Structure 1
């Protein structure tokens, strides 16, 4: 099913959200929302980390933002701010995934000033070769993750994914004109500058520079000896035109940013790929007049503003200026919606693993469950009705069968299964009828008896004590005066056309001086009369008379 997803970018100056819908490998982006933070919620010290009072103010601002934007029931994806996290790019001399998984914690522990039990990490593979694996590791202290999640929880947010605000930019890269080539996405924010290098649309490297718009404002306030609000106003009004001998601190802040960007571009992992083709520059402080031209001149690289692609899945059109501030929120939303998102880091692991709130599930799925329950009830009622109706029909049919059976077989007094008993009776009738019809011929059993009677000579005294007729045989047990008469009887019966074989057996003398015998006659289809076999030696026919 489709899920309503929100990429929530909790910046130092404003809250930004991209709202969309995703599921079944598809996604749609519906709208972008931005809400500036109040003075108290913005109060974040330069070293990072808000005071308890500022954290409470930010939580209240988030809660109000979710309520006014009707985002409470959506699935929310958030990022851990870059100054709370750290990244490491590692090259391992093997490619076995299980071996990589076992090795990463030991490699990281050797590079951070904390014990491995104090940090939480996740990693994703950037590149593999026949004998090496390039991975990007994201890590943060468990204590800082816990505080950040607690602040989000106070604002009513239980994020399904907690990414890094640098890596998520790679998800938005293909939609910001960075689908091919080696491109740096540079987000100059209020407190920091986030960098994400993408190579042909794939994540390559990231970095966070602790310099942003607030650093420029503070430096200008020092140079001009005015308060922060006035320095902010003059910065927006004049931009870099105000740089000069009278603003040395401001110039140094700008130079620091340029130098850190140049240092990133010339880092070994980036030099190995080649010179950066261009910079896509965005963020609230990137709107400062003259900054893009200065970076292009100092770094000898093309600097472009982000331009959202004309993708049919984007169902809204950004207002002027929104494209410069939405990339992080867009990257977060795509992380939650698109199956093929580029970034894969998630610090909601182990004790911080995401557990969907049951109440949210109840509110989201209660209408669906109610409809499903009603449908199941109707289906069950229909099945029960069909069963009752079928039973009633079966009972009526059984009664009719029993009545027909009683009419057909009145001699049967014990009725157990009338249908089975009727089948058995029918089979008996069929066997009898078949025997009477001699199986396919036109001669009946009565014809057989009549033919036997006609063939027995009138002067031969034959007594038949038992006669049985089955499907293919006639068995006769009888008695007569002598052996010769038995042979005479056999000879005469063999002349019947539909008797294929006549056998005499068990000829014995009885107490009255006669002979008893058994005749077995094999019956076949009628045919031409058969010739009588020659008489046995010693019979009356062989001696020429009786």
Structure 2
């Protein structure tokens, strides 16, 4: 019997959902939907409460009754770390990683929820991706979703979730010519630029080799264009993401506004290549609000 699973992406501007039927043979997309998050008002509810209300509206509007819900942790509050351990044995990694994580964070380990997955093994060493979030922030998310009638089975960091799309074939890999013996497997780069945050993931062979989320999004571009052109932020945002011909002045302002994104992306790729070597990037996948640029 098929199990109906719901994946949620809690954005600052909209909540997105995809409903899947999953069986032992695979899965099928049943439905997708997007509901806007109520804009912030002075003295109004915080973002998390507005996101939960959008989730409630999404379920009511589509009539979805999922058996299980998986959601990505919203925003950039979940920090990402890359640790390198001088061995590859899974048992030793499990015994050691907690001590290493505690040395990387400004909190006691008992105050955070964290998990890890292997990124890359090389020269007898293992690179690990570790995601950490304060328990109080995770508890607030789970409570808000509970108020919306959702009990998530899993809460995952955004970055590594993209790798699963490649590993399961949800995003088809491009055909590549046969690699020479010993050649590095080409990587795919996923860049999801939302309203307030950006997530990036480097995927090779269906596995995440680098992943992080940082503050940057369409709202940042709108603020810069608003300041440069004397527009309201709402008008600037509409001009930035418009599918119609844009004001030439907006196109002139965008390269300056995009500079922080390029800087963060360059730093991410530089750190990845320092660990993974000269692996080529064969495809760049841009998604999120700015995919419309």
Same fold per TM (> 0.5)? yes
CA distance in 1, matches of 2:109, 2:31: 41
CA RMSD of aligned residues (A): 2.5
Q: Describe the shift of the 1:175–1:59 C-alpha distance in structure 2 as closer, same or farther (beyond 3 A).
A: closer
Which of 142-151 and 86-95 deviates more? 86-95
Match of 1:60 among 46, 53, 59: 53
CA distance in 2, matches of 1:271, 1:96: 19
- Give the superposition deviation at 1:255: 1.2
Q: Does 1:200 pair with 2:243?
A: no
Q: Describe the shift of the 1:243–1:73 C-alpha distance in structure 2 as closer, same or farther (beyond 3 A).
A: closer
* Residues matched between the structures, number: 277
Q: Which has the higher contact order (CA 8 A, sep 6+)?
A: 2
Instruction: Mark the structure with the bigger radius of gyration.
Output: 1
Helix, strand or coil: the match of 1:157? coil
- Give the superposition deviation at 1:256: 1.3
Is the 2:4–2:22 contact (alpha carbons within 8 Å) kept by the matching residues of 1? yes
Partner of 2:10: 10
CA distance in 1, matches of 2:214, 2:46: 26
Helix, strand or coil: the match of 1:220? helix
Partner of 2:124: 131
Is the 1:178–1:198 contact (alpha carbons within 8 Å) kept by the matching residues of 2? no
Partner of 1:122: 115
Match of 1:72 among 65, 76, 93: 65
TM-score (norm 1): 0.47
Partner of 2:250: 242
- Give the superposition deviation at 1:251: 4.1
Partner of 1:264: 268
Is the 1:82–1:166 contact (alpha carbons within 8 Å) kept by the matching residues of 2? no
Match of 2:256 among 236, 252, 256: 252
- Give the superposition deviation at 1:2: 2.0
Unpaired runs of at least 5, structure 1: 45-50, 289-546
Normalized per residue, which structure has more strand?
A: 2
Helix, strand or coil: the match of 2:231? coil
Q: How does 1:213-292 map to 2 (within 5 A)?
A: 213-237=218-242, 238=246, 242-244=250-252, 247=253, 251-267=255-271, 268-269=273-274, 272-288=277-293
Normalized per residue, which structure has more helix?
A: 1
Q: Deviations over 1:422-475 (max 9, x none)?
A: xxxxxxxxxxxxxxxxxxxxxxxxxxxxxxxxxxxxxxxxxxxxxxxxxxxxxx
Q: Deviations over 1:294-333 (max 9, x none)?
A: xxxxxxxxxxxxxxxxxxxxxxxxxxxxxxxxxxxxxxxx
Partner of 2:171: 176
CA distance in 2, matches of 1:239, 1:274: 39
Q: Does 1:211 pair with 2:211?
A: no
- Give the superposition deviation at 1:269: 4.2
Is the 2:119–2:127 contact (alpha carbons within 8 Å) kept by the matching residues of 1? yes
CA distance in 1, matches of 2:135, 2:69: 21
Is the 2:73–2:156 contact (alpha carbons within 8 Å) kept by the matching residues of 1? yes
CA distance in 2, matches of 1:177, 1:262: 25
Partner of 1:95: 88
Is the 1:265–1:271 contact (alpha carbons within 8 Å) kept by the matching residues of 2? no
Unpaired runs of at least 5, structure 2: 175-184
